[in-house]
Amino acid sequence: MDDEAATNRGRRCSVRVLFVTSAYPASSDDPRGVFVHRLARGLSARGVDIVVVAPGFPGGTSRHTLDGVDVRRASYWIPRWQRLASGLGGIVPNIKERPWLAAQVLPLVAALVSQTLRITPGVDVIHAHWLYPGGLAGLAARRRYRKPLVVTSHGGDLNLARQRGILRRISGRVARTADACVAVSRSLVDEFVSLGVPGERIEFIPYGVTMENGEHRTTVGGGGRLDDFRSFDGFRILYLGSLIPRKSVETLLAAHRELRTRGRNVGTMIVGAGPTLERLQAVVRDGSIECVWFAPTQPPSSVISWMRAADVLALPSLSEGRPNVVLEALATGLPVVASDIPGTRELVEHGKTGFLFPAGSAPALADRLEELLSNQPRRVEMGRKAGEWVVDQGLTTSHIAAKHLALYERLATGNQ
């Protein structure tokens, strides 16, 4: 915890906030919705009374506490079959993988609405994360109890809304009704504007990372796969995230193979889980691609250990919001090579803290990785500048929590 958060711990403030979200960790080792939890934890450290409503999950309880945050679970199906909002990919990838889960969509929305309506009378502000389904629950509560509603887009909701008319209509209705819309990237500010939200009701508040004594929180762990990665005597490339189509991990595999063909001693570790895992493993196996390894999804506490073992983080996504994994890498002092797309473009300063390359271009990705491989002093300098940039931009959890608290207090005061 940084000094400012430590000063605020133990204080209570007058505003009470309800989070409504479709993704929230079940434990400190669960990466699902970890950025929402970090904000909740940061607000709690500032004395905010906060309650979180999130979907139930197989084997879960109806209520639990995580790092001092009160979490209420909305049960929406037979408990052991509540899988629509489980896993890292999200609701839409889950439906694509198991089409029968589409039957759980309306029950999930209904359960979130019911739980939100039950809690709203005791809070001052409702904060929905993602415009759907959480935004729909927040909208229902705002209309019934006239409490201020904040909605945050984390990117995936508005990216998907561009492709599906019904989701765009839902997003527009929620966004235009909300008292404030929070965008985690500059490109999402433009998306809100395109939905007809007045500029004065749009707030740009990006993600933050936890810092301790000026450095990113350090941890240990990771197990045998991490040890294998550390011991590789070559250039170590790390991918860390969901294994879903839009992440385009195939592009990274093709770039890896190109570098091996050029005689470069590179090793790539792919950390994550998702519906494309088997296909990616088949590409490696059938193509006889050497020095590529797979590791399962890691708990948030061990992510830093993987990053410290790597020489570079690669993110070949076709679309993103404002990827938290890139921010974590920069805070760690790890250079990033990422697709030149909205979101990553805001985080990676090309040629200074990492490199950008045209999305989907394996040769371009290979070229950028080779530049870092061939020039260790530049790689070290990029890492140093990356860490400085995070601090200079004020992208710490405490700073971001303070911005949200100021927004809540303004809305709560105006609602009295």
User: Quick one: 184 and 147 in the same domain?
Assistant: yes
Rounded Cα–Cα distance for residues 399 and 299 (Å): 24
Res. 165: pLDDT tops 60 = yes
The pLDDT assigned to 213 comes to 36
The domain tally of the chain equals 2
User: Quick one: 382 and 402 in the same domain?
Assistant: no
User: Quick one: 189 and 328 in the same domain?
Assistant: no
User: Quick one: 201 and 270 in the same domain?
Assistant: no
User: Quick one: 336 and 383 in the same domain?
Assistant: yes
The least confident of 119-133, 157-171, 207-221 is 207-221
Give the chain's end-to-end CA distance (angstroms, integer).
33
User: Quick one: 43 and 129 in the same domain?
Assistant: yes
Q: In which domain, by residue range, is 154 found?
A: 3-208+396-414
The pLDDT assigned to 12 comes to 64
Considering the entire predicted model, what is its pTM? 0.80
What digits encode the pLDDT tens for the residues 223-240?
Answer: 578 998 999 999 999 999
Res. 221: pLDDT tops 80 = no
Rounded Cα–Cα distance for residues 33 and 41 (Å): 13
Name which residue leads in pLDDT, 216 or 228: 228
What single-letter amino acid sits at 291?
C
Res. 2: pLDDT tops 50 = no
Percent of the chain whose predicted confidence (pLDDT) is above 70 = 93
User: Quick one: 143 and 242 in the same domain?
Assistant: no
What digits encode the pLDDT tens for the residues 139-150?
Answer: 999 999 999 999
Q: What's the whole-number mean pLDDT along residues 144-163?
A: 92
Closest listed residue to residue 339, CA positions, set 360, 368, 369? 360
Res. 222: pLDDT tops 50 = no
User: Quick one: 310 and 265 in the same domain?
Assistant: yes
Q: Could you give the strand order of the β-sheet that contains 235-240, starting from the edge strand earlier in sequence?
A: 292-295, 266-271, 235-240, 312-315, 336-339, 354-357
User: Quick one: 187 and 297 in the same domain?
Assistant: no
User: Quick one: 400 and 387 in the same domain?
Assistant: no
The pLDDT assigned to 159 comes to 83
- ∠263-266-271 over CA atoms, to 5°? 150
User: Quick one: 197 and 240 in the same domain?
Assistant: no
CATH code of the domain containing 275: 3.40.50.2000
Res. 5: pLDDT tops 70 = no
The pLDDT assigned to 220 comes to 42
The pLDDT assigned to 218 comes to 41
The pLDDT assigned to 208 comes to 87
Percent of the chain whose predicted confidence (pLDDT) is above 90 = 71
Rounded Cα–Cα distance for residues 19 and 247 (Å): 28
* CB-based contacts of 58, cutoff 8 Å, min separation 6: 79, 80, 81, 82, 83, 86
Res. 275: pLDDT tops 50 = yes
User: Quick one: 160 and 20 in the same domain?
Assistant: yes
Q: What's the whole-number mean pLDDT along residues 171-192?
A: 95
